[in-house]
Amino acid sequence: MPLMTGAQYIESLKKVPIEVYALGERIADRTEHPLIRPHVNAAAETYNLAHDAKFSDLGVATSNLSGQPVNRFTHIHHSAQDLVTKVKMLRLLGQRTGSCFQRCVGFDAMNALYSITFDMDKAKGTQYHGRFRDYLKFVQDNDLMPDGAMTDPKGDRSLAPSQQHDPDQYLHIVERRQDGVVIRGAKIHQSGAVNSHEVIAMPTRALGPDDKDYAIACAVPANAPGMVYIFGRQTNDTRKIEGGFDQGNASYGLVGGEATVVFDNVLVPWERVFLAGEAEYAGPLVERFAAFHRQNYGGCKSGVADVVIGAAAALAEYQGVEKAPHIRDKLTEMMLLSETLHACSLACSSEGKPTPSGAYVVDYMLANITKQNVTRYIYEIYRLAQDIAGGFLATMPSERDLRHPRVGPFVEKYYRGAGEVPAEYRLRLGRLLENMTCSIAPVESMHGAGSPQAQRVMILRQGDLEAKKRLARKLAGLE
Ligand SMILES: Cc1cc2nc3c(=O)[nH]c(=O)nc-3n(C[C@H](O)[C@H](O)[C@H](O)COP(=O)(O)OP(=O)(O)OC[C@H]3O[C@@H](n4cnc5c(N)ncnc54)[C@H](O)[C@@H]3O)c2cc1C
């Protein structure tokens, strides 16, 4: 069933119930619950894109395994152009959803595992790459969405996994059996996990020889026995239960509907195990996944920023200030920052290089620069949007007040914009901006794909300071 539509994707999730909880209650249908549904809709757009004839070059790719058309989110990049196309696709989906559409995490996990398993087999004679290709074919043939599960709870961050007081703070192998491995632990902050078909788990950090049991990468069906999901709370999430435009982005929600995913002694058959004990490959796998994931942020976030810039500009118009020079300058600044992020993502993609497996990777240095810039520029873009919008972002009455027979006319009268602009227009845009800029959304730009310091470590490592010193010494006549 290649190339599912959004509606078929949602139907496919309904057929596979999982054990998921939100607000202290077990959820029967993960696709219909009001807290989850907007995130399902956002992920569904990744499926709809593959059927959008205007953008089929973005949404569809040709599988290197089968030669068949596949959804690009299941494709292994085989050229720098593939990497560039990925960024353009992410921007378009950011524009369409104004949110996180979640499918890139599994996409990046698959791309990282493809080339790292190849390297590992070559160096160590293991059998991981062939297994991974079989798994990839299964994902492509069924157009599945795997969650990319890297981040462990981590307990005491100053201690290695094997030194933790509670050994389950990092996902680990608790038993090796003839039919597979049993794993226990959790992955937190998992975007789209509750609306995925599969979960691909990977280590979250470089590991030493004492941490062999923590060197586990594998795939499990989302409904495997022992998989438990706890849906995270978000700013103003009960507005989703109320309904109406106070939600801000009622169709697609806010960031990726993150969940805590518990692996409570889950059996993983060997054919779905892609790393089991080769601790020295955890670091390279994490770095490769992180590079692909950091590449994304100048794609999706510039798309989301397009919506924020548009909302700020439209509000300025409704409020009669669109021609004021400082407003135009602020909108210009927002576009400068957003396009810089996009340019960084394109640059790390254009500079992509082949790996021994034939698959392409982004330029690590430029990918880390991209994400580091996102941790700052998105905050600045949101700050400028809030400046332009005005204080009503924090104080406006609810939609129910607008509809109320007694106070509604007052809301209509006092929240009107310039000319004949109805109050509802301003309130709707105000709620959208509240949702996108005054909520938890920027935290994703800070910590998603790694906290800022993780990129700075990589930048220093990639920067080759010694070569720079040599350049200076040469011109100074010291060599
Ligand atoms: C909205 C959102 C979506 C996400 N989606 C996913 C997803 O789909 N899949 C996934 O796997 N992950 C996901 N993440 C997780 C993301 O990768 C992590 O948040 C990130 O790696 C930081 O980890 P942390 O949140 O545990 O913070 P911490 O690691 O606790 O970081 C907090 C601070 O402590 C510092 N710090 C941490 N360890 C050390 C140390 N040893 N020494 C010194 N300083 C240290 C950090 O630099 C940072 O300043 C998501 C996160 C967010 C916010």
pLDDT band for position 479 (cuts 50, 70, 90) = confident
| pLDDT of amino acid 1 | 54
Domain range summary for the chain, segments of one domain joined by +: 6-279, 284-475
| Mean pLDDT calculated for residue range 51-62 | 97
| Mean pLDDT calculated for residue range 353-365 | 98
CATH, range 284-475: 1.20.140.10
Q: Is the distance from CB of 79 to CB of 290 less than 8 angstroms?
A: no
154 Cβ closer than 6 Å to some ligand 1 atom: yes
Nearest to 184 by CA among 264, 260, 268, 276: 264
| pLDDT of amino acid 38 | 98
397 Cβ closer than 6 Å to some ligand 1 atom: no
| pLDDT of amino acid 355 | 98
CA distance 303 to 104: 14
Ligand 1 atom closest to Cα of 105?
8
Residue with tokens 């004839």: 53
| Mean pLDDT calculated for residue range 168-195 | 98
| pLDDT of amino acid 51 | 98
230 Cβ closer than 6 Å to some ligand 1 atom: no
Nearest-CA residue for ligand 1 atom 51 is 448
Percent of the chain with pLDDT over 90: 99
Average pLDDT, the chain: 97
Query: Distance from the CA of 294 to the center of ligand 1, in angstroms?
Result: 13
163 Cβ closer than 6 Å to some ligand 1 atom: no
| Mean pLDDT calculated for residue range 100-122 | 98
Task: Give the pair of three-digit tokens for residue 303.
Answer: 């798309």
Give me the phi and psi of 219, to 5 degrees please.
Answer: -125, 140
pLDDT band for position 455 (cuts 50, 70, 90) = very high
CATH, range 6-279: 2.40.110.10
Q: What is the pLDDT of residues 240-259, one digit of tens each?
A: 999 999 999 999 999 999 99
Ligand 1 atom closest to Cα of 440?
1
CA distances 78 to 36, 89, 171, 387, 394, Å, are: 34, 16, 31, 43, 47
DSSP bridge partners of 230: 21, 260
Task: Give the pair of three-digit tokens for residue 407.
Answer: 């106070």
Q: What is the pLDDT of residues 384-418, one digit of tens each?
A: 999 999 999 999 999 999 999 999 999 999 999 99
Nearest-CA residue for ligand 1 atom 1 is 444
Nearest-CA residue for ligand 1 atom 47 is 453
| Mean pLDDT calculated for residue range 128-149 | 98
pLDDT band for position 125 (cuts 50, 70, 90) = very high
Asked if pLDDT for residue 214 goes beyond 80, the answer is yes
Query: Distance from the CA of 450 to the center of ligand 1, in angstroms?
Result: 5
State which of 189, 443, 455 you would mutate to test the pocket of ligand 1, scoring each by most atoms of that ligand within 8 A of its C-beta: 189
| pLDDT of amino acid 2 | 79
Query: Distance from the CA of 376 to the center of ligand 1, in angstroms?
Result: 16
State which of 444, 451, 457 you would mutate to test the pocket of ligand 1, scoring each by most atoms of that ligand within 8 A of its C-beta: 451
Query: Distance from the CA of 198 to the center of ligand 1, in angstroms?
Result: 22
| Mean pLDDT calculated for residue range 31-37 | 97
pTM given for the model:
0.97
State which of 39, 102, 157 you would mutate to test the pocket of ligand 1, scoring each by most atoms of that ligand within 8 A of its C-beta: 157
148 Cβ closer than 6 Å to some ligand 1 atom: yes
Among the listed ranges 156-160, 266-270, 275-279, 438-442, which one has the minimum average pLDDT value? 438-442
| pLDDT of amino acid 14 | 97
| pLDDT of amino acid 53 | 96
| pLDDT of amino acid 179 | 97
Query: Distance from the CA of 454 to the center of ligand 1, in angstroms?
Result: 9
